[in-house]
Structure 1
Amino acid sequence: MRFLCVLIGSLLGISSPLSALILIEDVMSPKDQEETGVSKLTRMEKLYLEKWLNKKFILKSEKEQINDTTSLYVSEIINQGQQLRLSNNSLYEIAPDDWELAQAWIAPTVVRVTFSNDPYYPWTITNPLSGYSVRGRLIGTERPQFLPPVQPQPSIPSEEAPSELPQEQPQPEDQNASPPPQELPPSQEEELQTQEAVPQQTAPSKQTP
């Protein structure tokens, strides 16, 4: 029953003032009929469904679908509702809880993309006429034009290296330390070495008689 309700809402999204007969075999592929449960209906049930759809809704022609650029619509349903591609080539990953609903949509279905409160799936894709919506996360090439501007992140100041290294302070001189030996000129140094090498002669002592 839920599939039939979603099917009706999807067909409502492609309605138009132009008159066109809605035939299930023409507007739904065998795969779509199997996924939505329509294939399980008897021939008589399908006829009653077609009669009710034609009484309530008008099918949009293919030319109108191509020329209609006033709103987005679902252009492709991928992996049984796990992903939806919209007419602006944006690709959305659908929340697992909404796969069953997204799988039952029929392309093209007019949708409106708005923000959601889900941090993991921040977009809501809604059929404005039927009221059905799914949550999605944008993973495709083109983003909606109404995305809010990205706020610049505050830069973290980096620790600047000091421009000059600290200079070593002179150590105080030790007043008790002995002064360093002074160097002598070469001539005085040789003379000093000669004096040290010659043994000093002592005068003979006088003998007493």
Structure 2
Amino acid sequence: MPYIWGVDSANEATKDLYDCVLTQFGKPEYWGRYLTRVEGASEGITTEEVQLLHNSNTKIMPIYNDFLEAIGERQGLIVAQNAIFHARRLGIPKGKILVANIENFFNIDAAFISGFVEAMYISDYKPGLYHDPDQGQFDRAYCEAVELNDRVAEQTVLWSAEPEYGVTGRRDAPPFQPSEPNCRSNVWGWQYGRDAEACPIDTNLIDQRFYNMLW
């Protein structure tokens, strides 16, 4: 299985930032960007960014992060619906993945994950979860959701934040060895390096199946 290198950023992917990544790290095959602006956390992707990235033959990994906890089926449904709303607003086609951003300090339960996955399933978008399987509540909540709902393990693509290997360029990326939950899962992405000094980006590896779902 080939693993594909790319980046994500909270900042806007301007031409200057794109050129910084090209010069310092190599050509990104995809770029993770947030669907909305969240004060103090991220800038929302613009139509100019979409054009710049697509014209550079760089796919977009859409991330939704406008929530601070992940408790209950209703909250999972709301997060999914909000992500879908912004995906449609931006013109992201059905069949593409939308990643919900679960930080390791979040309160999270199985009902949230199940609600998110079910709402995404009926929308024809693919559910993704950025998560930390080593620290925080994700591992327990995810594995409980898998026990309760077969669709969670079947449909969900996981993007792991652990272990933190350190930022590298494209040619120096490590072997694909993300941490995984202690149950059935599709860990197809790994954010192995965070907060690069040369450019404000994180570095990632994903597998071909994940890459095929990007926009």
Same fold (TM over 0.5): no
Which protein is bigger by CA-based radius of gyration?
1
Bigger RCO (CA 8 Å, 6+ sep): 2
The normalised TM-score by structure 1 is 0.20
The normalised TM-score by structure 2 is 0.20
Write 1 or 2 for the structure with the bigger share of strand: 2
